[in-house]
Amino acid sequence: MAKDSELADGPGRRVFHGWWIVSVAFVAQLLALGCSVAVYGLFIPVLTDEFGASFMTANLGLSILGVVMALAGALVGPLLDRHSIRAIMVGGAAISGFAFLLMSYATELWQLGLLFGIAVAFGAAMFGPLAANTVIAKWFSRNRGRAVGIASMGPPTGGLLLSPLVGVMLSSYGWRPTLLVFAVLHAILIPFLWLAIRNRPEDMNLLPDGVRATGTPVPLGRAWMTSEVIRSRNFWVLALAFGAVGAVAGSFNANVIPYARDIGIGLADASLFISAIGGTAIVGTVAFGTLADRLDIRSLLLGSFVMQALAFLTLRSVAPGYAFLMLAVLVFGLAAGALMPLMAAAVGRAFGAVSFGRVMGFIGPVTLPFAFVGPPLTGWIRQTTGSYLPAFDLFLGVFAVCCCIVVMLRVPRRSG
């Protein structure tokens, strides 16, 4: 460490504020995706039974959510690099919370679709993974992978904790009180966002990773122009690979409950699969995030893709049953948990902290076709063929193509 700087945390010193930001970012992501993507499959029976929606229509809500989040990200990302991240995250939590409140009073399917697919999605883009990882990228450099990995435990933790809770509430009280609870949780988050979030460590006389500034500036990387980002090979490799693999993850999360019902597993037992995905994804986010600070990111990505492919190969190759589905879910969750920290680590290394929000925001629109097509296509395959196995075959093909794409990734060993 340079002689003209000192660590902000250590014996007798206060904890580096960046770790408080990581903690609040963890909770923000837990609610942003835990109350939407992670538990969406539990609401599909409500949409099909109470509102008469088909499997394809029921899955369309998740597609709309993904599309709007991606479009919103292209707007929000550059704002996160230039304006108050705290104000943006607080506004997003308020929008999503109010949308869940209104959803609890909905009487028509289109009302749920409008509020969930647009309001909840836009709010989640403002205070969820994009904003959380952007502020963390500005507060950490050497430990960025570990910090993002810890914060990215939020969504799988949401799946682990919220899935059984939502399953019980849906069975005992119905979907309207469940949505009211979601609204209350978002309201509770707002004051914590306001107290913890700050744009940069320099705002508190600190430097990334907990170094106390004493006069010597630390380079944070250059600002990338939009045209430079779009021309970058790394941008397209990351956007295409994560878009396709993310569509598979969203499709499987949304349809694992209906698939379990297809093979004779009741709703109460099936809800454990979402918890299992969340539990192993927690391990995956921390493990792969920590490894991203030390090992080749391309190799880690290939390992994650192969593990997820093996999960679907298991379901495709053996007789369906609770044990094999649980095995596949555990492997899938562990590998899928790697995606967010590896994405953040790759963007941080390739483009630096200054333009992190801009690059992450621009990746969103590229993922639009994947996010929109994935879940409803999976539902359509099930509705047309009467089985999810053809969809699993499609997933295997996606992972094979993405492995070929990610081989072209070139990122430096150090950030930006």
pLDDT digits (tens, 9 = 90+) for 169-178: 888 888 899 9
Q: What is the pLDDT of residue 215?
A: 46
Question: How do residues 224-233 score in pLDDT, each as one tens digit?
Answer: 887 888 889 9
Question: How do residues 390-407 score in pLDDT, each as one tens digit?
Answer: 999 999 999 999 999 999
Asked if the model's pLDDT at residue 211 lies above 70, the reply is: no
Asked if the model's pLDDT at residue 343 lies above 80, the reply is: yes
Asked if the model's pLDDT at residue 3 lies above 50, the reply is: no
Question: How do residues 349-393 score in pLDDT, each as one tens digit?
Answer: 888 777 788 888 888 788 778 877 888 888 889 889 988 889 999
Q: Which 8-state DSSP code applies to residue 118? A: I
Asked if the model's pLDDT at residue 254 lies above 70, the reply is: yes
Residue 415 in contact with residue 353, Cβ under 8 Å? yes
* Cα 37 from Cα 31, distance rounded (Å): 10
Q: What is the pLDDT of residue 229?
A: 85
Asked if the model's pLDDT at residue 11 lies above 70, the reply is: no
pLDDT band of 221, cuts 50, 70, 90: low
Asked if the model's pLDDT at residue 272 lies above 60, the reply is: yes
pLDDT band of 180, cuts 50, 70, 90: very high
* Chain CA centroid to CA 127, Å: 12
* Cα 78 from Cα 5, distance rounded (Å): 30
Q: What is the pLDDT of residue 367?
A: 79
Give the pLDDT mean for 33-58.
79
Residue 371 in contact with residue 243, Cβ under 8 Å? yes
Asked if the model's pLDDT at residue 219 lies above 60, the reply is: no
Question: How do residues 91-126 score in pLDDT, each as one tens digit?
Answer: 999 999 999 999 999 888 888 888 998 999 999 999
pTM: 0.70
Q: What is the pLDDT of residue 2?
A: 39
Please give the mean pLDDT across all residues of the chain. Answer: 84
Sorted by where each starts, the structural domains of the chain and their CATH numbers stand as 14-406 (1.20.1250.20)
pLDDT band of 220, cuts 50, 70, 90: low
Quote the radius of gyration of the chain (alpha carbons, Å).
21
Q: What one-letter code names the amino acid at 369?
A: P
Give the pLDDT mean for 306-333.
86
